[in-house]
Structure 1
Amino acid sequence: MSINDNLKNHESIHSVKVLIKHRRTGEFIARKSLLTDLFQISHINCVRNAFIAGFILMISRQTITDLIHYGRFNWTFELLFQTVGKLHIVAIVWSLMTLSTAFTVFYGTYMWINNRKFVGVYLKFYDIIWLLIYVCYLTGLMVIPSWQIIKYQLPIVSSAIILAEQLRQLMKIHSFVRENVGKILQQSNKSIDQKLSFEFSHFNQYLYFLFAPTLLYRDNYPRTSIIQWNIVMKMFGQFIIILFLVYNIITNFWMPIFTRFFTNDDITFEFMISTIFDLMLPGVLIVILSFYGFFHCWLNGFAELLRFADRMFYEDWWNLTSAATFWRSWNVVVHDWLYVYVYQDLRKLSNGNRNLSTSCVVLLSAIFHEYFMIVSLGFFSPILIAWFGLFGVLFRFAFPRAKGTRWNIVLLTFVPICVAIIPYFYVLEVSARYFPSKRKTFWNIMFNNDKPSNYEL
């Protein structure tokens, strides 16, 4: 490599560090995703090429093995058909949710603000009525789609699509309402001479926000001048390829491990340790592919399609040394929403108690993750609440400002352990319900009950 190439690489690395350092929560500026900048460095791009080569070899191995043993491709999509189905119901539920979020929320908020002409006690009573309407609407948006999932017994992936959209729209609704409430309160605190005419958000601004890759509402975002269709096709094309790779890893590496739960009568300590370690490597590959596929490809594809110029959807979580900064950097989109609308509001209510506010944010995140799993799987086993809610809080306070390479190693070691233990316990719970006479579910253990568990949806 020439001296000029080395200088360009060093300049690229320096510019990326400056970009990360000056990022502020809730601030929107035109910037690229971190990996987009890093892939301009030949040394970093080589790592991606190594992953691509590894996946090509993995697919080639499977193909050659099928041709040798069966004389044909033996690619099975049985798992796909079992986990994805009834897509017409998914489309109907998603359409109704989106139409309701687009029109009911916008015009309901407009009616509340436009008719807010009372004073004194009447104004408070008027606001309380609309607050109750707002809470009832959010409750309905939580309950009705979940009820449809249970009623039609949707497969796990189909359920996950509806639940992911449900939670995304809930956060977007709260952000839109919260920001406009903030405008009203700012106007109310001004004197008569200082008050300006209040301009409510336009419907096209709100509609753009519903599909933009952010959960923080602003009337205007930095926009690019044109849509680069080659980038759109590249991002969504890579996303489809990653879906295929994740499915291939699950069917060829995870599913043979999961069958052990249904073929072995006894779950021994040796079985548990060997199974967890066997799940680690495929689990890490799934996490890396899922992160790159969603946070980089999917979100960048939509950002380019909508000319959304701020592409900072994640930070360099792989370099971090504490649990707090890890969760903050893994998913910038959700973290910003939690920080602005949960953490900051709780700090105001608790007179600046940071530890209480942080603990509530972690627990709220764990509860919504657990809710996602409850409705998708059809039963309640508090694995994510215990793992993220309990261990997440402990890690947060045990290593709040840890520094150094050794802590980065600890964190990177914890990731594969996490992605192996969580599916292990969920499959163990499923197998306990499959063999109720031989194994106990979580609730059987908790209440020392030998009868099959009834804690199913």
Structure 2
Amino acid sequence: MSEVKEEMPTINRRHSGTVHSLKISIKRRRTGEFIARNSMLTDLFQVSHIKCVRNAFAAGFIIMILRHMVNDFLHYGRLNWTFELLSLTVGKLHIVVLVWTLMTLSASFGVYYGSYMWTHHRRSDGINSRNVVIGSYDMIWLTIYICYLAGLMVIPCWQIIYHQLPLVSSAIIIAEQLRLLMKVHSFVRENVRKMSKQTISASDQQLSHLHQYLYFLFVPTLIYRDTYPRTSTIEWNVAWKMFGQFLLLLILVYQLIAYYWMPVFAQCFAVNEITLEFVITAIFDLMLPGTLIIILTFYGFFHCWMNGFAELLQFADRMFYEDWWNFTSAATFWRSWNVIVHDWLYVYVYKDLTTIFSGSRNLSTACVVILSAIFHEYFMIVSLGFLSPILIAWFGLFGMAFRFAFPQTKGSQWNILLLTFIPICAGIIPFLYALEVSARSSPSERESFSKMTSTSSKQSKSDL
């Protein structure tokens, strides 16, 4: 331990503020607080003992890729990588770009200039003469705002259904839709709060500037502020490194899904009767690759993707996650896994519900958990094209049960227990969705699915 402590680095960045040590970076932050700090793994990887763990993962994946290459050359005399899964799930990207562009433009200029019109006319002498008139005027703009949010929810979904977009293309649109919804709501709420504290004769300049809002739309945070801590320069080597790692991780995730998950999914389409033995075997076969997919997705998105964009935009607060791997309670995990969304839910949902429910924290927490489960299920419904409330049941019911059953537990035994549920979730959830897809598929779709997975199944068997 003494050797590890000696290697604990300081954050050597070009921040305008004070340099923070690793100990400050690890301690619990205040929600909505923005200070210059690195991501936790950025600092931990400067410790040789921790960096060795990442290198071990990299070595393991290199061996996995070499294994596939060697087997291909031994059995086929060439590389025999299949891309049927990629062609099936990704397509019509011109529609994706068009829908994303229209959503972004409406969220950028439509929302800002709508807010400007509300602010400007609200301060005119005619509007401000009586509070009753102000209330009616605000209700009109509130109705317009709600209609805009409804349009932002409905129109992209309609385009997905109309153009029959594949899985990944649909998921990209829905992910961006939810991101813009939360961004827009944060901007409107913060400016409404700011305007409500000002006098009637205040200057129009008190509304946030357009360049501040446009910057907020692309920085990796969902809490709006007029200013954020910034770095003085862009380290292009860091940005290229982050995006390069993200691309490599995408390839690894694809390999895991195509060669380890798809053969198991193919069995769901092939069997005539679902037996208990088949269910247990399939779930355990999905657990290990599912856990690796979760780890790679976390590292690729929350560390590489977020840090890459933060570097390009000189965004200095890199606290996108905390040490969720040390969690001993479900509440700690949800706070630490995705800090960005957690902060938004806490500021704009939990605190409002606590006020509405007269300070009832448990009821507010339950509503936040259910709302989060609903939006996760909404993401899956639109992406997959059918309703199967698996995530609502799993995260809404089981997640809530764990949240209240283990509120403030401590000790390594609880960390082991809760870490065990990660591979269990990684096995059960995809298996249930595979069963649902199999049950809903027509015979022709079953043949198409079996054809797509046949190459993966043969490859997996040859490896064994």
Tell me if both proteins adopt one fold, taking TM over 0.5 as the criterion: yes
- Residues 410-449 of structure 1 aligned to structure 2 (within 5 Å): 410-434=417-441
Equivalent residues in 2 for 1:254-293 (5 A)? 254-293=261-300
Distance 2:22 2:164 in 1: 47
What amino acid does structure 2 have at the position aligned with 1:401? Q
Q: Corresponding residue for 1:9?
A: 7
Question: Shift of residue 202 of structure 1?
Answer: 0.5
Cα deviation digits, residues 426-446 of structure 1 (max 9, x gap)? 11011111269xxxxxxxxxx
The aligned runs of 1:35-434 (5 Å cut-off) are 35-117=41-123, 118=127, 119-187=130-198, 199-434=206-441
* Alpha-carbon distance, 1:240 to partner: 0.3
Contact 1:383-1:422 at 8 Å conserved across structures: yes
Contact 2:4 2:49 in 1 (8 A): no
Gap regions ≥5 residues in structure 2: 12-19, 444-464
Length-normalised TM-score, structure 1: 0.91
Kept in 2, the 8 Å contact 1:187–1:196? The answer is: no
Equivalent pairs counted in the alignment come to: 431
Distance 1:81 1:28 in 2: 41
| 8 Å Cα contact 1:172/1:210 also seen in 2 | yes
Structure 1 unaligned runs (5+)?
437-457
Note the C-alpha offset of 1:186: 1.5
Structure 2 SS opposite 1:115: helix
Aligned-pair identity (%): 69
Report the Cα distance in structure 2 between the residues aligned to 1:326 and 1:59, rounded to whole angstroms: 32
| Superposed CA offset, 1:40-73 (max 9, x none) | 0000000000000000000000000000000000
Q: Which amino acid aligns with 2:197?
A: Q
TM-score normalised to structure 2 length: 0.90
Counterparts of 2:38 and 2:416, CA distance in 1: 28
CA contact (8 A) 1:239 1:293 kept: yes
Q: Helix, strand or coil: the match of 1:259? A: helix
Say if 1:187 and 1:407 are closer, same or farther in 2 by CA, change over 3 A: same
- The answer to whether the Cα contact below 8 Å between 2:9 and 2:43 also exists between their aligned partners in 1 is no
Residues 89 and 167, structure 2, Cα contact 8 Å, conserved in 1:
yes
Contact 1:187 1:198 in 2 (8 A): no
SS in structure 1 at match of 2:122 = coil
Q: How far apart, CA to CA, are the structure 1 residues paired with 2:393 and 2:43?
A: 37
Q: Which fold has the larger relative contact order, with Cα–Cα distance below 8 Å and residues 6 or more apart in sequence? A: 2
Is the contact made by 2:319 and 2:339 (CA closer than 8 Å) also made in structure 1?
yes
Residues 226-278 of structure 1 deviation map (CA, whole Å, 9 limit, x = unaligned): 00000010000000000000000000100001000011100111111111111
Give the CA deviation at 1:348: 1.0
Rounded Cα–Cα distance in structure 1 between residues aligned with 2:357 and 2:70: 62
Aligned to 2:423, what secondary structure does the other structure show?
helix
Letter in 1 for 2:158: W
Tell me if structure 1 keeps the 8 A contact 2:195–2:206: no
**What is the rounded CA distance, in whole Å, between the counterparts of 1:419 and 1:338 in structure 2?**
25
Distance of 1:6 and 1:432 partners within structure 2: 53
Residue 143 of structure 1: CA displacement? 0.1
Deviation at 1:11, TM superposition (A): 6.1
Find the counterpart in structure 1 of residue 29 from structure 2: 23
Tell me how far 1:216 sits from its aligned partner.
Answer: 0.4
CA drift of 1:20 comes to: 2.5
Q: Distance in 1 between matches of 2:169 and 2:281?
A: 32
CA–CA distance in structure 2, aligned partners of residues 6 and 164 of structure 1: 39
CA positional deviation for 1:9: 1.7
Aligned 8 A contact 2:195 2:207 in 1: no
2:458 corresponding residue in structure 1: none
Deviations 1:194-253 (A, max 9, x none): x78861100000000000000000000000000000001000000000000000000010
Aligned match of 1:445: none
Q: Shift of the alpha carbon at 1:19?
A: 2.1
Which deviates further from its counterpart, 230-239 or 197-206? 197-206
Q: Distance in 1 between matches of 2:207 and 2:399?
A: 40
Q: Deviations over 1:263-321 (max 9, x none)?
A: 11001111111111110000000000000000000000000000000000000000010
Moved more, 206-215 or 17-26: 17-26
Do 1:295 and 1:314's aligned partners in 2 also have CA atoms closer than 8 Å? yes
